[in-house]
Amino acid sequence: MADWFVLAAISVVSASFAILWLWPRRQKRNGDYGLSTPGSLFDVVFLFDGDRLISHSDIALAGYETVCNWSDLRRLLQRDYPSFPETPEVVRSEGNLAVSAIDCTVEREVLCEWIDGVIRVQLRDLTGMPPAKRTDPNDPIRLAMEQAPYPVWLSGDCNTVRWCNAAYVSLARKISGQDADLTEPVFPLQLDDAQLGRKTRVSVQIKDSEARLWFDLTRVAHDQGQLCYAVDINAIVEAETAQRKFVQTMTKTFAQLSIGLAIFDRNSQLALFNPALIDLTSLPPDFLSLRPSLSSFFDRLRDQHMMPEPKNYRGWRRQMNDLLEAAQDGNYQETWSLPSGSVYSVSGRPHPDGAVAFLFEDITAEITLTRRFRAEMDLMQSILDKLADAIAVFSDDGTLATTNYAYQMMWGDSGEVGFEPATVVEITRQWQEQCTATPILGEIREFVTARENRAEWSGELTLKSGGSITCTVNPMQNGATIVRFSSDSAVKNSVEMQKISA
């Protein structure tokens, strides 16, 4: 009997020590590991013995009432808390773990604790929690990451997002909708380690839309995967697209021009050319597409004999070096007579931002026409000079257009034309100085300036030096007038002798 009393006393003492040892911990956990009624809807406590669920608090969250083991809980938490441990052994080995939500704007976390062989998992709301029990919200590093104006996220080894900032959350919901799974990466996985740390341009398409968003993506190696940064470059891409469309529009416009166009950028590289340039210079399109430099462009023209061959190559090279500066000032203008007989007008024009445009125009037809016109004019003048009669031709505006050699000898005219052509009034005054008074000169003035009732007529002029001259006035098309002077034989012989002596 005494043995039973001793055994009972020992049991009571042992139980008392056990209660005293557990009392502080149970007081700390409200006596039930925090399984009492939670303070908010999100606060739930689960107790695990290894992988097996042994107890839990009242559950108000839909879906969590079916949790039977660690895998069930992890499956429910994995979308919002991808860093939740895969097995209970992680908590046992590392001790207490505070798992933050993937969305940094969510004020919730999952706290895992190892307590005397039991794993306590608490889903707790951080709103209103004392600062001592939560991460410092004023931590400058945390603020810099969470409030960055561009998306920042941590990508795990399995291409799942483990953490992201508010900008990434906003982007993911903009692309995939408000119910977007944040663990699914918005951007494609970069498997090439050589690209780590380098900026890559990528685009993502908005759900149910053809619109695309462009970013400069940079990935940095991290011990848990890859730390990623995306910078919005939509404004840059839109500007580049607008510029490309403008260039395409300008190219289509320039394609209709018969003048060859070559635009060099500020680095003296060919930036734009039109088909007429290929036709005029015979330069191959593949060469022009490689964006040759200004010197290479003109070297190729020289090699293909599409520019005048310089007498001094070294001097020509210096001229080419000065050509760009001249073109930038808008002073470059030359006419090239090519060995093929073609004639090109080449000019340089400055453009904004240091660019220079060269224009190549084939003026062979114009030059040929001008030369032919000059040859015909010279032939006509030669014919007129061979005539014995003095001839003066007045244009429709009453100015003297041309005379022949006999006229110059008769009236003492040098034949030189000034900046302002002489009028019929001035010419008849010169005739009046060598003739006696006559109404014929006044009639000539009226006839040259008249527009109607124009018919051929003639009259006699008496020279002060003696002798007479027959003056014949002939109307021509387009309002021009020919005045012809025929002298007596003595005057004609004098004119012939002066021609022979000349």
Give, in order, the Cα–Cα distances in Å from 407 to each of 456, 458, 461: 20, 17, 15
User: pLDDT: is 11 or 447 the higher one?
Assistant: 447
> Is residue 332 scored above 70 in pLDDT?
yes
User: pLDDT: is 106 or 324 the higher one?
Assistant: 106
Q: 64: helix, coil or strand?
A: helix
pLDDT tens for 192-231 read 666 777 888 888 888 878 888 999 998 888 777 788 899 9
Q: Which of 52, 60, 32 is nearest to 125 (CA)?
A: 60
Residue 149, sorted as left (phi over 0), alpha (psi -120 to 50) or beta, turns out to be: alpha
257-362: same fold as 32-131? yes
Grade residue 416 by pLDDT with cuts at 50, 70 and 90.
low
Element (H, E) at 152: strand 152-155
CA 102 remoteness from chain centre: 40
Query: Which sequence spans correspond to the domains of the chain?
Result: 1-27, 32-131, 140-232, 257-362, 384-501
Contact 93, 99 (CB under 8 A): no
Contact 231, 237 (CB under 8 A): no
Which of the following CATH numbers is that of domain 384-501: 2.30.40.10, 1.20.120.1200, 3.30.70.2470, 3.30.450.20? 3.30.450.20
Question: Residue 301: which residues within 8 A CB-CB, separation 6 or more?
Answer: 281, 283, 307
Grade residue 395 by pLDDT with cuts at 50, 70 and 90.
very high
Residue 38 carries which DSSP code? -
Question: Residue 80: which residues within 8 A CB-CB, separation 6 or more?
Answer: 101, 102, 103, 106, 182
> Is residue 471 scored above 90 in pLDDT?
yes
> Is residue 319 scored above 90 in pLDDT?
no
> Is residue 497 scored above 70 in pLDDT?
no
> Is residue 19 scored above 50 in pLDDT?
no
Contact 115, 37 (CB under 8 A): no
State the CB neighbour count (10 A cutoff) for residue 219. 23
Laid out side by side, the sheet with 400-403 consists of 400-403, 390-394, 481-487, 468-475, 457-462
* Superfamily name with CATH number, domain 257-362: PAS domain (3.30.450.20)
> Is residue 330 scored above 80 in pLDDT?
no
Element (H, E) at 48: strand 44-49
What pLDDT score was predicted for residue 491?
A: 47
Mean pLDDT of the chain: 79
Burial code (b: 16+ CB inside 10 Å, e: under 16) for 95-123 equals: eebbbbbbbbebbbbbbbbbeeeebbbbb
* Dist. CA 390–CA 387, nearest whole Å: 7
Grade residue 173 by pLDDT with cuts at 50, 70 and 90.
confident
Q: 300: helix, coil or strand?
A: helix
Whether CATH 3.40.390 fits 32-131: no
pLDDT tens for 131-144 read 545 555 555 666 66
What pLDDT score was predicted for residue 117?
A: 84
> Is residue 30 scored above 50 in pLDDT?
no
* Dist. CA 292–CA 284, nearest whole Å: 12
Block residue for tokens 């930036």? 271
Kindly report whether the global pTM for this prediction surpasses the value 0.85.
no
Instruction: Answer positive or negative: Cα dihedral of 404, 405, 411, 415.
Output: positive
Phi, psi of 362 (to 5 degrees): -80, 110
> Is residue 15 scored above 50 in pLDDT?
no
Grade residue 78 by pLDDT with cuts at 50, 70 and 90.
confident
Which range has the top average pLDDT, 20-29, 55-64, 120-129, 253-262? 253-262
- The residue ranges of DSSP E strands in 308-382, in sequence order, are 333-337, 343-350, 356-362
Q: For the chain, what percentages of helix, strand and coil (3-state, to nearest 5) are there? A: 40, 25, 35
Q: What is the mean pLDDT of the segment spanning 398-411? A: 90
Grade residue 320 by pLDDT with cuts at 50, 70 and 90.
low
> Is residue 18 scored above 60 in pLDDT?
no
Element (H, E) at 47: strand 44-49
Record: fold of 140-232 = Beta-Lactamase (3.30.450)
State the CB neighbour count (10 A cutoff) for residue 46. 24
State the number of CA atoms in the 13 A half-sphere of 438 facing the CB: 23
The amino acid occupying position 365 is: A
User: pLDDT: is 449 or 33 the higher one?
Assistant: 449
Give, in order, the Cα–Cα distances in Å from 288 to each of 9, 273, 324, 431: 106, 8, 18, 66
CA 13 remoteness from chain centre: 89
What pLDDT score was predicted for residue 459?
A: 92
Give, in order, the Cα–Cα distances in Å from 381 to each of 32, 366, 401, 424, 425: 127, 22, 12, 20, 24
State the CB neighbour count (10 A cutoff) for residue 500. 7
What pLDDT score was predicted for residue 370?
A: 84
> Is residue 85 scored above 70 in pLDDT?
yes
CA 400 remoteness from chain centre: 58
Residue positions counted in the chain: 502
Contact 399, 379 (CB under 8 A): no
Percent of the chain with pLDDT over 70: 78
